[in-house]
Structure 1
């Protein structure tokens, strides 16, 4: 069987491969990027789905518009208004998770050989998606405060990319938070170089203390010409339920129109039942209480993981305490003659019945082999402390 040449540009996800090792009894996993099912508002979702079936069964169960279920687009417009973004319902499309939005961007924008700039490190599926469409993926370095804008601008000027992809708020895997100053700089350079910027924002609502700076989309009103050079991807997966597969994209009209056309060929529309359920949930006003609960629990777990890493691994590991999101991004220092290879560390950790993801797959180029990602979302404080103690024995 002869497969498409584009498959030569991608390989199986290293994270999915790692999951094959997680079947051992008693293993504690910090590997996944999933929300905790205990955080799902089951009663609220039950109530929302029941209302969807009772109040508009045709809309919930019939074929629907590719752009999205009208009432949900209205609710998402209001949801974004609460984040300082003015967007009319027709100014966004509903996607099957924000990951479909990224795939639609690849389909509509990337020709083989086009250059795309991403953060180094960044969301693994993004690298795979863009490469699948033939992109040359270029890494822009980051620090704890997000992408280094001086180096990003140099890369834009040098490579003239089709677009730049960023996760400014609590990035995956880095947990980095782009500063307000750098956000403005990103918007200004988008205008200066007439380069599209894609803002992926699945974690922006998961902050543990002060709210993060406004999104690039929210700030774009203060940087003339930048709104026309922005695509914003949002998701309910991390705050409501991944299983509903509700995401959305806000973008210039021509880009949205082409994305809708490509989506017609892909899945016709996102599940109308899921959309109607999400619409009823947002309409019921339960989201603020859900977010407050999730922020509190994840904040406690992040604090516990940070304290445990300092206690159990000490100088053998360096990290920044995340201010939100789902992840710790850490680096092995080699202090005291201990390993600096996260791949070897991961193997030793599995022997101690604890799992995490080595950092190398998150880089489009020049991976830092000392880095690794830990997720604190699905383990309670007791499991976090036990799991990090096991890491201490493995390092």
Structure 2
């Protein structure tokens, strides 16, 4: 039926269509199907018109919204600029600028010769991390976390930065700073001996000398040298400014005197601060010093063991010599009895045999005791080494290995 109506519509009628209205002519005016189509066309036109009007209104509202948004953003940026100008004096960057204005650290490359330069390096690292996250499309929370992770200062970093600052500003000796652990703790058992080298003789300590200027004995006792004096190993010839003379002192004392302006080395320059002083350099030297101290402890355990072995050998050598002498003395007494006819030859032979069997048994027991003592000393050596190694087996900075060639442990830096 619909196909037939459509065919009639096509063959017998035409529509007068304008931009304003669509009309039907001929028999189609009374055709309900055609009339329905016409109604739908009119409704569609009205719907399109309303949609266009609505889109126009939405576009207008969107345009107004964008204009308002741009206006508000402009005001916000102006307020922000005004706020930044108002508080700029109190920002970290301005504070850093003021702090470095008359400081020698202003023109240096290191970040460790001024506390705020190190802090600035961490803040800049945080800013760079935040900008990277935003550039990659990350959200505010991710950007904030990136800033915190990059800008935070750990205890280990703070300890290292403080040590470097003290060294660079003459408040501490580099060779003393590397004796401390990464967390700032001092291992007295491991590094105490090295630290004590700076203070072996109170008479040469600058602090003592400056506090006791009238102690003429301490000031004058060492002045028995001349510019051509050759000091023994580990000692340095230094010119003393206050006394206009020369004296041999340890390298550590020379370093202190030079630091305090009390004297200068004559033949050997003492450089207590490395040319490239960085946190990496400090950490490397600190671990290297720890490794050296541990290996020195290992060597001392072996040295003490060797001394004990030598003392034990001497002890038993003396005991064997003494035993042989006692045996000879007893045999001599029996021989004298034979010569004086106190005993006959048969009795002499029996007594000599008894003496030799007795001392043979004594010798056997002494040898057994000697080997038992050796076992005890070897066991003590292993226990002492194991006790020392147990203190550092979980230290991530070093590695304890067994050296087959030397037959002992060896500490190395962990790669």
Higher radius of gyration, 1 or 2? 2
| TM-score class, shorter | under 0.3
Q: Which has the higher contact order (CA 8 A, sep 6+)?
A: 1
More helix by share: 2
